Amino acid sequence: MEPPGDAKEDWQIFVDLAHKLGLQGFDFNSPEDIWNDVRRVTPSMSGISYARMEKPESVHWPCPSEDHPGTPILHREKFASADGLGHFFGLEHRPPAEVADTEYPFTLMTGRLLFHYHTRTQTGRAELLHHEVPAGYVQINSEDAARLKIQNGEKIKLTSRRGEVETIAKVTDEVAPGVLMMTMHFGDAAANMLTNTALDPLSKMPELKHSAVKVEKITGVQ
């Protein structure tokens, strides 16, 4: 895609910046140059040339050499273990770092929508995707909503130990009672103001999919 107006393509901006900083190894003249450099240092992708990607069936990673057919399905013949077999092992259940309690009685899950990508820097500019879902919201079960006298489409307040967010309630049976669901896409309904920063000990993934919150009506607003 041509960059708009006088803008440069992203890769050119990085190359220019690297040159200004006097860095070596940034003498690229095209995205293909950069891709070839990626291939040079990434064995699993070294067989994926631009020419092969032009073919309608393209080529699947991992593909260690130009004459390798690519790998549409991983681990088909063997797993990446010493004996090539998949190993099952038991896991001790460990509860999430934070679970719902009387003060924060709802479990908040977060996730994605089909219609947006991450913080919407791209999808938020696409008129069609904006038409599908223009703003953030929280899904709440219809039983909970009835008990708290929350109407579909009403603005409500969510609070966790870390922060608070006001957003629109979508009353639904797609989530179970006691559970709320928010997406991560919207700045005006920033779910991560609420989520927990506890990390998984092994992968260091933050526990964004599970935190405890409370729900309040916003009085005086309808």
Asked if residue 148 binds other proteins (CB under 8 A), the reply is no
- Report the DSSP beta bridge partners of residue 100: none
Cα 13 to Cα 99: distance, rounded to the nearest angstrom: 45
Q: Is 2 in the site for other proteins (CB under 8 A)?
A: no
- Residue 138 C-alpha from the chain's centroid: 17
Query: Least distance from C-beta 221 to other proteins, angstroms?
Result: 23
Cα Rg of the chain (Å, integer): 24
The bridge status of strand 106-111 relative to strand 211-217 is antiparallel
CB of 103 to other proteins, least distance (A): 33
From the CB of 50, what's the least distance to other proteins, in Å? 10
Q: Which of 73, 82, 85, 114 binds other proteins (CB under 8 A)?
A: 114
33 vs 174 by CB, closer to other proteins? 174
Peptide bond into 62 cis (omega under 30): yes
Question: Distance between CA 65 and CA 62 in Å, rounded?
Answer: 9
Binding of residue 125 to other proteins (CB under 8 A)? no
List 14, 26, 61, 115, residue binding other proteins (CB under 8 A): 115
CA dihedral of residues 154, 159, 163, 164 (deg, nearest 10): 10
Using CB under 8 A as the binding rule, whether residue 109 contacts other proteins is answered as no
By CB under 8 A, name the one of 55, 94, 149, 204 that touches other proteins: 55
Candidate residues 41, 73, 91, 128; the one interacting with other proteins per rule CB under 8 A? 128
Is 101 a residue that touches other proteins (CB under 8 A)? no
H-only helix segments in 6-76: 10-20, 31-41, 50-53
Q: Which is nearer to other proteins, 116 or 210 (CB)?
A: 116
Comparing CB distances to other proteins, the nearer of 31 and 163 is 31
Q: How far is CA 122 from the centre of its chain?
A: 14
CB-based contact 213:148 (threshold 8 Å): no
Residue showing tokens 């140059």? 33
Instruction: Tell the smallest beta-carbon distance from residue 56 to other proteins (Å).
Output: 4
Per CB under 8 A, 54 contacts other proteins: yes
Residue in 4, 56, 95, 201 binding other proteins, rule: CB under 8 A: 56
Q: Answer for the pair 97, 211: CB distance below 8 angstroms, yes or no.
A: no
Among 16, 132, 143, 200, binds other proteins (CB under 8 A): 132
Pair 169, 150: CB distance under 8 Å: yes
> How far apart, in whole angstroms, are the C-alpha atoms of residue 75 and residue 80?
7
- Per rule CB under 8 A, is residue 113 in the interface with other proteins? yes
Query: Where on the chain is the footprint of other proteins (CB under 8 A)?
Result: 51, 54-57, 113-115, 128, 131-133
